[in-house]
Amino acid sequence: MPSKPALRVEGVSLAHNKPGLDELIHPGEIVGLAGLDGHGQDAFLETLAGLRAPVAGRILVRNGSAGYVEIDDFRQATRLGIAYLARDRRANGIFPSLSILDNFAMVTLGRDRRFGLISSRARR
């Protein structure tokens, strides 16, 4: 019996009057995007990660026994296991004024807090 898709893209359009994209991605699949620079690959990945809202359609992630959950924003996508790595990490993927440790720790800020403050011990 084939596994259920881990990610469902249903009618996602990135611009007005453009056709929507439908895709099913199953656990363990590796999916590549091809095309010329500026033809929507980055916008599509940002949409999958919840950084950009689609003009139309929806993105659904399988969430265990809860079924499918629609991605509404970046935090929710991250909680559901979607990671986004920007193409230009120097401009979009780091905080240049912070240390390497602080940059890595950005994703764990929620669990590194103690009484509303960031715990250096928990972060390390």
**38 in any annotated domain:** yes
Tally the C-alpha atoms within 13 A of residue 56's C-alpha that lie toward its C-beta: 10
For residue 82, the enclosing domain spans: 7-89
Burial of residue 40 (CB within 10 Å: 0-12, 13-18, 19+) is: middle
Percentage above 90 pLDDT, the chain: 39
**110 in any annotated domain:** yes
Instruction: Please tell me whether residues 122 and 105 are part of one structural domain.
Output: yes
Q: Summarize pLDDT for 77-112 with one digit per residue, the tens.
A: 988 888 887 777 667 667 778 787 777 777 777 777
The total number of structural domains in the chain stands at 2
Query: Considering the entire predicted model, what is its pTM?
Result: 0.70
Instruction: Please tell me whether residues 100 and 83 are part of one structural domain.
Output: no
Residue where the block lists tokens 């993927």? 93
